[in-house]
């Protein structure tokens, strides 16, 4: 029998692994010099926006004039405000007897004032005297922004007002062909 002369494989000693260095965060760098002025400008814009919005809410939007109580202009603006608040009882109380006799309710008389909020109503002029006055009014819808879905559009129309025993009342529908 022959014995093998093969030698057992030699095992080399294994050295221990090198220790892993801890991860150190990069040093915090200061912000570039333009960040602080940018934050100040943004804060100023926010404050200015809030202040101008508050001023419009307190004083009224563009083109809105406060008319003396008891005038046809004030009565029409009260009607427009009631419609925009969906206060149909108040709006109905501002319709003339003649309009009601023709079967027209406040929602029908409101015409396109009924399309939703965000409409500015202004009175351009008036004609007539005594117990009947025609108001020439303008309506602007939208914001006037240059961004497409928020563009403004306007329209002009006339409305008839009549004085009844309890004050001025709307005597025509609002909008084109509203007689």
18-68: per-residue pLDDT in tens? Answer: 677 666 666 656 666 777 888 888 888 887 777 666 655 555 444 456 788
Tell me the C-alpha distance between 135 and 122, whole Å.
Answer: 10
Tell me the C-alpha distance between 171 and 98, whole Å.
Answer: 7
As a CATH number, domain 60-170 is: 3.10.450.50
Residue the block writes with tokens 């009260």? 78
Residue the block writes with tokens 């000693």? 13
**Is residue 15's pLDDT more than 90?**
no
pLDDT at 62: 47
Q: pTM for the full model?
A: 0.59
pLDDT at 47: 76
């Amino acid at each position: 029998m022959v014995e093998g002369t093969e030698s057992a494989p030699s095992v080399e000693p294994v050295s221990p692994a090198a220790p892993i260095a801890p991860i150190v965060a990069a040093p915090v760098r200061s912000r570039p010099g333009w960040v602080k002025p940018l934050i100040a400008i943004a804060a100023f814009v926010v404050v200015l926006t809030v202040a101008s919005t508050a001023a419009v809410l307190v004083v009224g939007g563009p083109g809105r004039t406060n008319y003396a109580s008891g005038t046809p202009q004030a009565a029409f603006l009260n009607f427009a405000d009631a419609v925009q608040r969906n206060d149909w009882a108040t709006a109905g109380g501002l319709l003339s007897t003649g309009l009601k006799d023709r079967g027209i309710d406040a929602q029908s008389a409101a015409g396109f004032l009924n399309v939703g909020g965000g409409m500015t109503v202004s009175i351009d002029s008036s004609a007539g005297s005594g117990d009947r006055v025609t108001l020439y009014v303008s309506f602007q819808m939208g914001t006037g922004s240059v961004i497409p879905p928020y563009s403004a559009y306007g329209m002009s129309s006339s409305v008839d007002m009549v004085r009844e025993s309890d004050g001025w009342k709307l005597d025509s529908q609002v909008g084109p062909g509203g007689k």
